[in-house]
Amino acid sequence: MITIILKIMFLNVIWVWLWKIATEDDMILEKIGKFGRRKVEEGYRIFDGLITCPWCLGNFHGILIVWPLSFLLEIIPFEWNYKYIIIHVFVLGGTSVICGVTWLIYQTILAYKNYLDLLNGHNE
């Protein structure tokens, strides 16, 4: 069961980071990312979970895309079993933590780099 959790979580984390990177500025899905950020600023919080928030992306995309994909890739057998619902809860929680923490680490590194550039006189 742990193996299934780790496989699905790995698939979910990879999917979330591919989506997050693809919707950033100067990337292939840049227009979708800008649309999502604009809608979040207007108050439509559903777009935060669908497009912009790395903490939330794992939950929405895990349910909509990765869970069905794990059936197609035969990570999970295509049968009804309550264990798979329990597995999915752990996968969604773990994915949210992994993606959110790595995003915070990335943002911290980026802020520190910008701070050092400011100290060294390299203004962008």
- pLDDT attached to residue 78: 80
| Section 1-11 average pLDDT | 87
Distance of CA 4 to the CA centre of its chain: 19
User: What global pTM score does this model have?
Assistant: 0.78
- pLDDT bin (cut points 50, 70, 90) of residue 124 is low
- What is the structure's pLDDT at 48? 86
39-72 burial code (b ≥16 CB/10 A, e <16): bbeeeeeebbbbbbbbbbbbbbbbeeebbebbee
Q: What is the pLDDT of residues 50-106, one digit of tens each?
A: 888 888 888 888 888 888 888 888 888 888 788 888 888 888 899 999 999 998 999
Q: Sorting pLDDT into bands at 50, 70 and 90, what band is 109?
A: very high
Q: What confidence category does residue 42 fall into, taking pLDDT thresholds of 50, 70 and 90?
A: very high
* pLDDT reported for residue 30: 93
Beta-carbon contacts of residue 19 (< 8 Å; ≥ 6 apart): 29, 57, 61
Arithmetic mean of pLDDT, 111-116: 92
